[in-house]
Amino acid sequence: MYEFGLTLKKPFEQALEQVRQVLMDNQLGIVSDVDVQATLKNKIGKEIPSYRILGACNPVLADRVLEAEPNAGTLLPCNLILRAVSDNETVVSFMDPVAVLGLSDSAEVRAVAVEARAKLDQVVAQLKN
C-alpha cells in the first residue's frame, strides 16, 4: 500500500494545527502546503470539503537521500493529506516512504525510508493520544 493514517475526531482546522505541532515535535518541518479546496474552487469553480496536502521533511534524512541518489529528490518530501469527512472528523493520510523510496535501487535510500517511516509511525501514535 502507498499510504497509511488515521481519522481524528475533531474539526479540520483543529486537526491541521495538531498535525503541524506533532510533526514539528518529531523534527519534521512543513516545506509545502497545498490548499486543494481553494485551488479547485479558484481554478474550476468546484466546491469540496477542506483538503490540504502537506510536504513534511526532515533535513538530515533528506540530505542522506540526496547524497546517495541526487535524482531521488523527485520522491521527496514525505507528503501527507488532511481531508474533512464531516464537521468533526478529519482523515490524516501519510505517503509511505518505504513504498515510494523503495523505487530506488540504493540501499542507503531504502534505509532512510525505513527511518522516515518510523518517524511517521511515531507521529501517528502521538496523534492517536
Fold classified for 3-128: TATA-Binding Protein (3.30.310)
Distance of alpha carbon 9 from alpha carbon 107, whole angstroms: 39
User: What is the model's pLDDT at position 119?
Assistant: 97
State residue 31's pLDDT score.
97
The stretch 94-119 carries a mean pLDDT of 97
Q: What is the pLDDT of residue 129?
A: 86
What are 4's strand-pairing partners? 94
d(CA 74, CA 60): 17
The angle at the Cα of 65, spanning 27 to 127, to the nearest 5 degrees, equals 30
Is the pTM for the entire model greater than 0.85?
yes
Taking the alpha carbons of 30, 102, 8, 89 in that order, is the dihedral positive or negative? positive
Kindly state the average pLDDT of the residues 116-128: 97
pLDDT at residue 94, as a whole number = 98
Residue 1 has pLDDT above 90, yes or no: no
| Distance, CA of 69 to CA of 89 (rounded, Å) | 39
Q: How far apart are CA 61 and CA 63, in angstroms?
A: 5
The position carrying cell 523505487 is 103
Give pLDDT tens digits for 21-56.
999 999 999 999 999 999 999 999 999 999 999 999
- What whole-number distance in Å separates Cα of residue 34 and Cα of residue 52? 6
What is the dihedral sign for C-alpha 77, 22, 53, 99? positive
Q: What is the residue-averaged pLDDT of the chain?
A: 97
